[in-house]
Amino acid sequence: MSNFWSGYIITLTLVFLFLTTWLLFATRKGQRPDQTDSTTGHEYDGIAELDNPLPRWWFMLFIATLVFSAIYLVLYPGMGKWPGVLNWTQVNQYEREVARAEEQFAPIFARYTDLPISEVARDEEALRIGQRLFATNCSVCHGSDARGAFGFPNLTDNDWLWGGEPEQILTTLRQGRQAAMPAWLAVVGEQGVRNVAGYVRSLSGLESEGVDIDAGKQVFASNCVACHGPDGKGNPLLGAPNLTDDNWLYGSSMLQVQHSIRAGRNGNMPSQAHLGEDKLHMLASYVYSLSLDDE
C-alpha cells in the first residue's frame, strides 16, 4: 500500500470517528423526564414520534463503543499501513495455531511413522485420522467416498495408473503426478482416430460400428504401444492406463474415446508434500486401505 492511500485511509477513519463522537454529544439533550409530550414533528397514521432523550444506558453504550474503537485501532491494524501496537497479522496467528496443533498432534502421528503402511492400513484409529486428512485435502477431486469422478481416479478399486503398492502411493502423494496423453489427430488423421478408438474399445469387449478394427490395430501398433504396451495393458511407470479392463477415466463411449485420442489428455495430481512426512504416511495408509477389500 502506498503512503498516499495509507494516509487517505487513516484520515477518513479518524475524521469519521471524530464526527461520530461529535454528533453523539451535539445531539444529546439535557436532563429531562423520560416522558414528554414534545414530538419531532413526524406523524404517520395518527402515530407521533416523541422527542425523548436516549436512555442513559444506551448513551453510555455508544460511548463504550467509541472507546473500544479507539483502543482497537491503536492495538490492531486498521488504519492504512499502521501495524498496531500488538503487531498482529492473520498470518502470524495462523502460524501460531498451526504450531500449537503440531505440538498437540505430533505424538499421535509419531506412533505410526515407523510402522509399514500395510500395517497402519489395518489400524482403525490410524484410518480415522487418515480419513479426516483425506476429507480435508483429497475429497474435492476424488469425492468424499474416494470413488472419483470424470477425469479423477477411483481409489477404491485395484486399477492404478501409477501403481497401487504402498510406496508407489506414497510417492504419488509426495511428488504429485503429471499425466500426458498427446493429441494424435495431426498424426493419424480423423479416420485413424475413429479406427484406433474402435480398436481400443474392442480391447475391453466393446463394439463399435462403422470402423475398421484391423486398421485401428495397425495405428495402435505404430503409435500407442510405446506407452500402453503391445497388449494394451498400460505401464505404471508412465501412468499409461490399462486399456483392456473396461475401466475408463474419461468415459468409454465412442465419442469420449475419440476425443481422448484426438485432443489428448493432461491429468494433474498435485504434490501433497506440504502436509509433511508424518501426515503423508497416514494419508497413504488410508488410501491403500481403500482397495484392500478388492484384493
Distance CA 272, CA 282 (A): 12
282 labeled part of a ligand binding site = no
DSSP letters for 213-242: HHHHHHHHHHHTHHHH-TTS--BTTTTBPP
Main-chain phi, psi angles of 178, to 5 degrees: -125, 105
Take residue 208 and report the three cell numbers written for it: 463399435
281 labeled part of a ligand binding site = no
224 labeled part of a ligand binding site = yes
Cα angle 253, 256, 259; round to 5: 150
Asked if residue 179 lies in contact with residue 260, where contact means CB atoms within 8 angstroms, the answer is no
Distance CA 254, CA 242 (A): 17
227 labeled part of a ligand binding site = yes
60 labeled part of a ligand binding site = no
Residue 230, Cβ density class (10 Å: 0-12 exposed, 13-18 middle, ≥19 buried): exposed
According to DSSP, the residues that pair with 177 across neighbouring strands are 269
259 labeled part of a ligand binding site = no
Q: Residues annotated in the binding site, as ranges?
A: 138, 141-142, 181, 224, 227-228, 269
Q: Residues annotated in the binding site for heme c, as ranges?
A: 138, 141-142, 181, 224, 227-228, 269
